[in-house]
Amino acid sequence: MCGRFAQYQGLADYLRELDAEQDVISGSDNVPIGRYNVAPGSRVLILHQATEGLRIAPCHWGWAPFWATGKRPAPINARVETVTSGKLFKALWPQGRALVMADGWYEWVADPHDPER
């Protein structure tokens, strides 16, 4: 199985939905992103806190600590029950949070009637 999501609106559209009360640094206009099948390992736009304020920037989708790199695919999600205590995300959690703007999420699954698909 492989998780995918869509990120197709323009940056200003996402920010308008958040109704943010502070300025956001992005350096981009409101051109629609137009990505309907974003795969793990690709670069996606995230909203995060930087020294100078909120920033929208591209980021690699998937993360793994140095000790897990190359041993398994980089995880793209976490369980809320274990994200703060599990060793995989433990070092990342205190660094702050990020928001991935998404218009939808889906997961590819095997078709039981057609194993080739």
Percent of the chain with pLDDT over 70: 91
Q: What would the pLDDT profile of 53-68 be if each residue is shown by its tens digit?
A: 788 888 888 877 777 7
CATH architecture, domain 2-108: Alpha-Beta Complex (3.90)
Please give the full DSSP string across 22-62, using - where no structure is assigned. S-EE---------EEEEPTTSEEEEEEEETTEEEEEEEES-
Q: Is the pLDDT assigned to residue 22 strictly greater than 70?
A: no
Active site residue 2: yes
pTM score over 0.85: no
Rounded mean pLDDT, 18-36: 75
| Active-site annotation holder among 52, 81, 107, 116 | 107
The full set of domain ranges for the chain reads 2-108
pLDDT at 1 over 50: no
Any residues with CB less than 8 A from the CB of 29 and at least 6 apart, and which?
10, 11, 12
Q: Is 17 among the catalytic positions?
A: no
Q: Catalytic one among 2, 17, 52, 116?
A: 2
DSSP category for residue 114: B
